[in-house]
Amino acid sequence: MAFDSHLAERIEHILIQKKVVFYQKKMMGGLCFMVNEKMCCGIHFDKKKQLDLLMARIGPEQEEIHKNRPGCLPMDFTGRPMKGFVFVDANGFDLEEDLLFWINLCLAYNPKANSSKKRK
C-alpha cells in the first residue's frame, strides 16, 4: 500500500500540535487518521492518476461551501461521490496553511460525524 509518508508526517504533526488524540489505520487504499473512533482525514493514492490525495471528512455543508477551492475534488470511489467527504490534490495542500485549513475543517466536523458500525 503506497501513500505519501511525508504527507502523513505533516498531518500527524498538525494533530500532535493541536493535542488531538488519534491513531492511524491503513484502509481504503491508504492511511486514515482516526479521531474519537471516527475517520477524520487520511491519504489515498489514486492509482489511475498516480497522485496522492488528502481525504477530508468535512461534512456536507462544508463540502458545498469549499467544493471550488483549489485542488478540491469529489471523493468518488465507485462512480458515486461520498457526501461529506472530499479529496484534495497537492494544489490544495502543498502550503502548510492550506493543509492546516483542511485539517481544521475535518476536526470541526468530527464531533458531528457518525461512527461506522462495528463488524462482529
Q: Does residue 95 fall inside a structural domain?
A: yes
- Determine, yes or no, domain membership for 34: yes
pLDDT value at residue 86:
96
- What is the domain-level CATH number for residue 74? 3.90.1150.30
Q: How do residues 103-113 score in pLDDT, each as one tens digit?
A: 999 999 999 99
Q: What percent of the chain has pLDDT over 90?
A: 72
The reply to whether 119 falls in a domain is: no
Domain that holds residue 98: 5-112
Q: Is residue 68 part of a domain?
A: yes
Q: What is the pTM of this model?
A: 0.91
Q: How many domains does one find in the chain? A: 1
The DSSP output letter for 24 is: E
pLDDT at 118: 61
| Burial zone of 15 (CB within 10 Å; 0-12 exposed, 13-18 middle, 19+ buried) | buried
Tell me whether residue 118 is in a domain. no
Higher-pLDDT residue of 100, 5: 100
Between 4 and 69, the higher pLDDT residue: 69
